[in-house]
Amino acid sequence: MSLEQVLARIDAALPEATDRLMELLRIPSISTDPAFDADTEQAADWLVRDLQSLGFKSEKRPTPGHPMVVARHEGAGPHILFYGHYDVQPVDPLSQWARDPFDPAIEDTAKGKVIRGRGSSDDKGQLMTFIEACRAYKDVNGSLPGNLTIFLEGEEESGSPSLVPFMKENAAELTADLALICDTSMVSLGVPSIAGQLRGMLKDEFTLHGPRIDLHSGHYGGPALNPLREISRLIASLHDDAGRVTVEGFYDGVPEVTPAQKAQWADCGFDEAEYLGSVGMSRAHGEAGYSTLEQQWARPTIEINGLWGGYQGAGSKTVIPAEAHCKITCRLVGAMDPDDVRRKLRAHIEARLPTDARITWDNNLEGSPAAVMNTARPEFEAARQALSDEWNREAVIVGMGGSIPIAGYFKEILGMDAMLIGFANDDDAIHSPNEKYDQQSFHKGMRSWARILDRLAR
């Protein structure tokens, strides 16, 4: 094929591609609200028909929840699986939208044209960049590019309850040489990015019990054990003054960032002052000795997400509470084992319990390990070069501070590495009112996938 012809076709067909995206955006596929079940089904049907029109063998597969869309095209070259999701977040608060969330439109802004509407960035606009790249390839060559499976989920925004069972039941069909995920953003405006690692997540929660009942602070203040005071001491013991976690063995399995990674991250366009200043901070408060990006992408954390007890109402009540409560999350990196970290965290706290205190743990909370991709695979460098060619600047392989479960599931269940390549921007307002997707992201996203598919095929 001629890559230049495919890119020219993408440029010429941008209005038609935008119209198709608008049609999909008009379908209110809110997966978490049963009132929109029929609409979510309609979005799956729309995608099945569109993929069939391109020559994919495309089907809507039932699950206990919303259906999966699976499309297959057998061809030469490595087997590539592309993942996206067609469901969207609720639109609340509706009053803060400047227009109907499901009446999408092209708008002019100070930064250029944007596609405004719910799902434009997360994830309909993103998944359509890949489908439109396939369409342009077929228009030019008469056939689809390579050996492809497209796997689209309808429950990503509602916890993906059907995803793992479906993947296990259809593992043979879904297993490929490499997965591509388009549900992420660029590290900075105009800086194409491939995520090579994502932090895992561990949740825990405990209650610290003290006196048998709430006590009058005049009668018992002094001699009584105060669970709020003691839980504060326990929480404070989790970190030293430099922000390092003090739990014994917590850093087992944590790799250091390589000099090559540090060099790439230093040149990725990240604006630390803007990142911190946008939320009212003047400096990073994490583990000393590590940059802000290292703290966000490559270092594990223990965070206190909730701490409460005693009287919560208006005015004052002179009470020593009978119990206090704490919610904790840990972000995990490298080879950290969630079960092992949970044992060490609990042992640290239980070893410091005072006399007359006891602790109960919530045992219904799960954890997932970090997803670390083999970025030494030649496909990563091929994709990086393709992105660099399209965006006219060096693409970077980055980490991600959050967790995207599907990447871990591909690794754990199907034994596949995944490349996470997205074209969203941090100001796209995903999950918020007035969500948008830059028209440049949509246009250059299509061109980027065409270049990536061309390089992967070779």
Alpha-carbon span 330 to 204, nearest angstrom: 8
Q: With cut-offs at 50, 70 and 90, classify the pLDDT of residue 73.
A: very high
In this structure, are strands 436-438 and 215-216 parallel, antiparallel, or unpaired?
A: unpaired
Alpha-carbon span 47 to 163, nearest angstrom: 18
pLDDT for position 1 = 57
Q: With cut-offs at 50, 70 and 90, classify the pLDDT of residue 458.
A: confident
Interhelix angle 3-12/439-457, rounded to 10 degrees, is 160
Q: Over the stretch 350-370, which tens digit does the pLDDT of each residue have? A: 999 999 999 999 998 878 889
Work out the average pLDDT over 280-308: 95
Peptide bond between residue 93 and the one before it cis (omega within 30 degrees of 0)? yes
The rounded mean pLDDT for the chain is 95
Work out the average pLDDT over 38-57: 98
Closest CA to 396 of 379, 417, 380: 380
3-state SS assignment for residue 94 = helix
Q: What percent of the chain has pLDDT over 70?
A: 100
Distances (CA, A) of 409 to 16, 73, 208, 366: 35, 23, 35, 14
CATH code: domain 3-198+370-457 is 3.40.630.10
**Is residue 453 pLDDT above 70, yes or no?**
yes
pLDDT for position 105 = 98
Q: What percent of the chain has pLDDT over 90?
A: 88
Closest CA to 27 of 83, 93, 87: 87
Work out the average pLDDT over 236-250: 98
CB proximity list for 207: less than 8 A, separation 6 or greater: 323, 324, 325, 326, 359, 360
Q: Over the stretch 30-46, which tens digit does the pLDDT of each residue have? A: 999 999 999 999 999 99
Q: How many CB atoms lie within 10 A of CB 124?
A: 27
Residue 290 has which token pair?
């590590």
Q: For residue 216, what are the β-bridge partners?
A: 319
Give counts: helices (H), strands (E), the chain.
15, 19
Alpha-carbon span 339 to 346, nearest angstrom: 11
- Tell me: domain 200-254+300-368, CATH 3.55.50.30, correct? no
**Is residue 268 pLDDT above 60, yes or no?**
yes
CB proximity list for 245: less than 8 A, separation 6 or greater: 238, 239, 251, 287, 300, 301, 302
Q: Over the stretch 83-118, which tens digit does the pLDDT of each residue have? A: 999 999 999 999 999 999 999 999 999 999 999 999
pLDDT for position 227 = 98
Residue 360 has which token pair?
């109960």
Alpha-carbon span 453 to 458, nearest angstrom: 9
Alpha-carbon span 384 to 448, nearest angstrom: 10
Q: Over the stretch 195-219, which tens digit does the pLDDT of each residue have? A: 988 999 999 999 999 999 999 999 9
Peptide bond between residue 123 and the one before it cis (omega within 30 degrees of 0)? yes
Q: Over the stretch 225-235, which tens digit does the pLDDT of each residue have? A: 999 999 999 99
pLDDT for position 157 = 95
3-state SS assignment for residue 332 = strand
Alpha-carbon span 373 to 396, nearest angstrom: 14
In this structure, are strands 371-372 and 193-198 parallel, antiparallel, or unpaired?
A: antiparallel
Delimit the domains of the chain by residue range: 3-198+370-457, 200-254+300-368
